[in-house]
Structure 1
């Protein structure tokens, strides 16, 4: 008789999200579901609203995506549709993402107990913790087995706000497909300069993220204006779109840097773009466990990031990047200049970030932690 432990039975896993538009949460769910299916589990994704632009990635992998197409306010038809999806397999693990998806899933499963009901809170939580949505979320904790925050800073914040699931509030850091990223190279920098119609030798400060107030690209633009006044051979590349795009483009004009700033909008080739950057910037006012920072680390880029939320759990100041206070254009500009003045240090910081990502930030590591959580081993997650 073999002394080896028996293999654990495959699980039925249903992920519940608002939608699958482009974003860090959505990228994490897609990568996690694909990894879980590859490990032999059966996975589905249910979208509370529309399916979103990235749904096809899952469907191409044989993972079904269902959209409840919820309308504004209370929508009984959407709740019924969600109930049908979540209660079809009473032995399924239901893994919800963020508060809105979670308390709707709890409402849809009243009277039907899933195998496990797990929630991940992405980011640092709501701007208004006493809002109706957050009240509904806390009320749902009595039927929630465990909540995973994506960083220790967020876990501590949720604990202080009274988030108390039945069996555990813990942190499970996000992971990415580290092996899909190649380190930045001079060849890719030359190619990106050519594509963006920038002079040869231009040093590129790049950032990836939605153009919204929390990401605070306005401060990043002001910092770059200061940098560009001293280092004219620099350019700022912003990847992502959002409601503030027109306002940010106008700000770049008023700062006199429009010719040196490129707004690329939403892109499907982020991995390739990262390889052409010299420095990665993140100017957020709030962050959980930033997927953009993980991808920058995997790309071997030196990072300048604001010291908010879980950023310091990714960026060790002076070891794989530099941390600066939020809302400080002068501090951002000084950090960019410090890396441009010392390219050898910048290369060393980028290499250290890639080494860290290979060890700590893989999808496999994250998936293993979630499987432990699904099987009721919260302490092992």
Structure 2
């Protein structure tokens, strides 16, 4: 099977990581996989070195990786022509758009094969009226969480398949962590955007470090992620005990170094970084918002706190890091929770969907000839 996935750009966001991981899994299973980015990373404010690393990794895994280099996202005709040229070379059996932006040029390119759309969030990033067009182009939608499925049900007029996100096996820890350590590293991972609400983590950092200092401990609080709002966050972080690492290609190594994972988002779809953290055996402190609630069970693999509440976030982090027996139990719970999210299972579910859609498009076989004449009156 030839599978073409489309993203906005090659960046370290969760959707993009999932697409590249799936492409590797497809290629490893003997399929022809290609990932097309609509724009270069620099054209949309993302890190070119991360783009280069992701493209190189996809190619090393046996998949094609290319960018259409579209500078103007509203140039639908130019985008359609560039996309059509790329699809002519790839000759896909199925196309999976992981960005709603891809559907407009796809509508003009008229690929003639099944089209799937995954919306990777529990909120819409486009007007609901756009579904009038999407429903004409899309053969099936994919929801990455229960909340995303509920959202799509309100607008989609084509089948919706629930396929949970997954993370690369390179994050998998073999054993749970037994203790938080004297001077823990606290890690947040994700694109720097309003959705991630990193200012709440900045405001929680000082009371946390002061409470740990009272125990004779120190903490390293790190945010790994880039994006158009990175410089603004860096200006806000001046004087706070937080390290901004920027976009990183070694998140798996950072997870192994870390002692606690934190997510302070205002909303989510189903964060890949949180799955990676659970696979790494990290207890998780996260905001009680859609997506996060489906991953974190309080007292089992982490803690949930109200969004935009620095005091509650700092207290939950402190409590998790201050009780070794509780910490160890949460680490074991994280590893158990992560078992649901294997990239192999996720890839198999996608391949099953593609096969069904391809089969549905094939012409029906002619009915077998009748063994005797049939009267019109019968």
The two structures have a TM-score, normalised by structure 2, of 0.84
Alpha-carbon RMSD across the aligned residues, in angstroms, is 2.5
In structure 1, what is the equivalent of residue 204 of structure 2? 223
What SS class does the counterpart of residue 337 from structure 2 fall into?
helix
Bigger radius of gyration, 1 or 2?
A: 2
Kindly indicate whether residue 351 of structure 2 is the aligned counterpart of residue 371 of structure 1. Answer: yes
In structure 2, what is the equivalent of residue 275 of structure 1? 256
Deviations 1:339-378 (A, max 9, x none): 1221211121112111221x21110010111111111279
In structure 2, what is the equivalent of residue 247 of structure 1? 232
Using the alignment, how far apart are the partners of 1:222 and 1:91 within structure 2?
48
In structure 2, what is the equivalent of residue 113 of structure 1? 112
Q: Kindly state the Cα deviation for residue 221 of structure 1 after the two structures are TM-superposed.
A: 1.1
**Would you identify which runs of 4 or more consecutive aligned residues in structure 1 move more than 4 Å?**
87-91, 183-190
In structure 1, what is the equivalent of residue 311 of structure 2? 330
Describe how 1:83-232 pairs up with structure 2 within 5 A.
83-87=84-88, 92-109=93-110, 112-114=111-113, 116-127=114-125, 129-130=126-127, 134-160=128-154, 162-165=155-158, 168-182=159-173, 201-232=182-213
In structure 1, what is the equivalent of residue 40 of structure 2? 50
Match of 1:39 among 17, 21, 29: 29
Using the alignment, how far apart are the partners of 1:266 and 1:185 within structure 2?
27
Kindly indicate whether residue 342 of structure 2 is the aligned counterpart of residue 362 of structure 1. Answer: yes
- The structure with higher relative contact order (CA 8 Å, sep 6+) is 2
Pick closer, same or farther for the CA change 1:121–1:342 going to 2, 3 Å: same
What SS class does the counterpart of residue 185 from structure 2 fall into?
strand
Using the alignment, how far apart are the partners of 1:163 and 1:214 within structure 2?
24
Using the alignment, how far apart are the partners of 1:90 and 1:265 within structure 2?
37
How many residues are paired up? 343
Using the alignment, how far apart are the partners of 2:180 and 2:296 within structure 1?
23
Describe how 1:253-332 pairs up with structure 2 within 5 A.
253=238, 256-257=239-240, 260-332=241-313
Deviations 1:54-111 (A, max 9, x none): 21212223322232221312253331121122355666111111211233223211xx
Pick closer, same or farther for the CA change 1:189–1:55 going to 2, 3 Å: farther
Unaligned runs of 5+ in 1: 1-10, 191-200
Using the alignment, how far apart are the partners of 2:252 and 2:191 within structure 1?
16
On the 8 A contact 2:139/2:357 being kept in 1, the answer is no
What SS class does the counterpart of residue 231 from structure 1 fall into?
helix
> Which deviates further from its counterpart, 317-326 or 232-241?
232-241
Unaligned runs of 5+ in 2: 42-50, 359-378
> Which deviates further from its counterpart, 175-184 or 34-43?
175-184
The two structures have a TM-score, normalised by structure 1, of 0.83
